[in-house]
Amino acid sequence: MSTPDYDAVVVGSGPNGLAAAIVLQQAGLSVLLLEGKPTIGGGLRTAELTLPGFRHDICSAIHPLAAASPFFQTLPLAQYGLEYVTPPVAAAHPFDDNTAALAASLADTADGLGPDADAYRRLLAPLVARWPSLAPDVLAPLHLPRHPLWLAQFGLSGLLPATVLARRFQTAAAQGLLAGMAAHSIQPLSNVATAAIGLVLLTTAHRQGWPLPRGGSQAIADALAAHFQALGGRIETNTYVRSLAQLPTARATLLDVTPAQLLQIAGHRLSSLYRWQLRRYRYGMGVFKVDWALAEPIPWAAAACAQAGTVHIGGTLAEIAAGEQATARGQHPARPFVLLAQQSPFDPTRAPAGRHTAWAYCHVPNGSRQDMTAAIEAQVERFAPGFRERILARHTFDTAQMEDYNPNYVGGDINGGLLDISQLFTRPVLRASPYRTSLRGLYLCSSATPPGGGVHGLCGYWAARRALRDVFGLDATPLYRGQ
């Protein structure tokens, strides 16, 4: 039998592909990482999209899960220039009366919710206190939980639709704050378990804030890649993989792709049952994204919004829920829910002196080609009169352009597949290990596996750990005691 070219090959250099490559290289293997684009990073790239000197995050921008990732925390990424900047307010949620709900410290957030202060503390305080112990159960594939009682208590609230959990509050401020957080799930807020997304994001806001990387999200990818190479790993860019036949020989191959690309790359070598399961995988809503070069900061009517790295624009719970439901039905709301990031007030490297950048997207039907620029800018103008006058230039991505930028974003779905209750833990299919495919030695390590979307690298970590055990009889360094 001929000697393989590498012990392992990883295809795709998003955060999960990079994480998988690092775990394998840490185990003493020879690892090759392949990237189809000229630069590494997947959803972590940063580029001058509008004007010279204005640096824009192409996809992900604010990184509470990256900073809190139990895997990334084991790596010396600061050695490679990664520095996080944490805005005073994690997220702001403005309303039409020129007020805003603010996600900052637990005490400050609760105090700002008036009659709902005590109810908010009762809901969030246990999660904030227990999160370091609870995270291993939440951010992992299905397993025997380490703290079953705490997980069950989280599930009592987290498995609810966000619209139901919001009934614990009586003020528009508390309900709207929860709705904006839950809308990160990119599905109707009436869906089961949408509350869990909101609770996790609020918990991270209260524990360590929502940081952004100085210089752009590319800094996270660059630090991960530098560490991988320092360990002895090899990276090749401009190598778009369309078939397993293109790859050098290896004992294990890990693909940072979603089921659509897996079928293209390896479909003929997968079992008929596994192919059938993959074809049933569902993608969610897409996004339409706008980046702006600005002459001045955004002039928020609620001044506190200027202290937030993220602003959730959509008004009341009822308005946000109706808009997300309409989008899921294939419609384009006139007033979409908008997620906006303003990095330059906290990181001056993002724009020339005195100038600013901003980043925003709204949800649209999967595969939509409708231009939502006017609708998004109208929503920002609604809460920041005079915003349009500050625009120097803009750049847009519709769903097709997002997918062209990153083929994992099928139809513009940046989560790598619908993250509803039926695909939360069983993505992409129901198997003893979601990372194994039906082909021996071939593994999936993308956000289409647990724990799903987000820049945390844990899909890659768990997939690489599975491959180490199956193929090499090795184990990765445990993230948690007793693992």
Q: Which residues of 277-293 are buried (b: 16+ CB within 10 A; e: fewer)?
A: bbeebebbbbbbbbbbb
Which two tokens mark 285? 């809503």
Cβ contact 94:300 at 8 Å: yes
Cβ contact 131:207 at 8 Å: yes
Higher pLDDT, 361 or 4: 361
What pLDDT, on the 0 to 100 scale, is given for residue 424?
A: 79
Which two tokens mark 329? 């039905």
What pLDDT, on the 0 to 100 scale, is given for residue 35?
A: 98
pLDDT at 481 over 70: no
Q: What average pLDDT does this structure show over 303-310?
A: 98
> Could you give the domains of the chain?
6-82+213-282+414-472 (3.50.50.60), 105-208 (no CATH)
What pLDDT, on the 0 to 100 scale, is given for residue 133?
A: 83
Q: Which helix (H) or strand (E) holds 325?
A: helix 317-328
What pLDDT, on the 0 to 100 scale, is given for residue 272?
A: 97
| pLDDT tens-digit readout, 409-454 | 999 999 999 999 888 778 999 888 999 999 999 999 999 999 999 9
Query: Which are the contacts of 282, defined by CB distance < 8 A and separation ≥ 6?
Result: 417, 418, 423
Cβ contact 89:308 at 8 Å: yes
What pLDDT, on the 0 to 100 scale, is given for residue 144?
A: 67
Q: How far is CA 103 from the centre of its chain?
A: 18
Q: What average pLDDT does this structure show over 99-124?
A: 98
Amino acid found at 255: L
Distance CA 367, CA 223 (A): 33
Percent of the chain clearing pLDDT 90 (strictly above): 89
What pLDDT, on the 0 to 100 scale, is given for residue 134?
A: 82
Please state the pTM of the whole predicted model.
0.96
Closest among 473, 460, 477, 479 to 21, alpha carbons compared: 460
pLDDT at 479 over 80: no
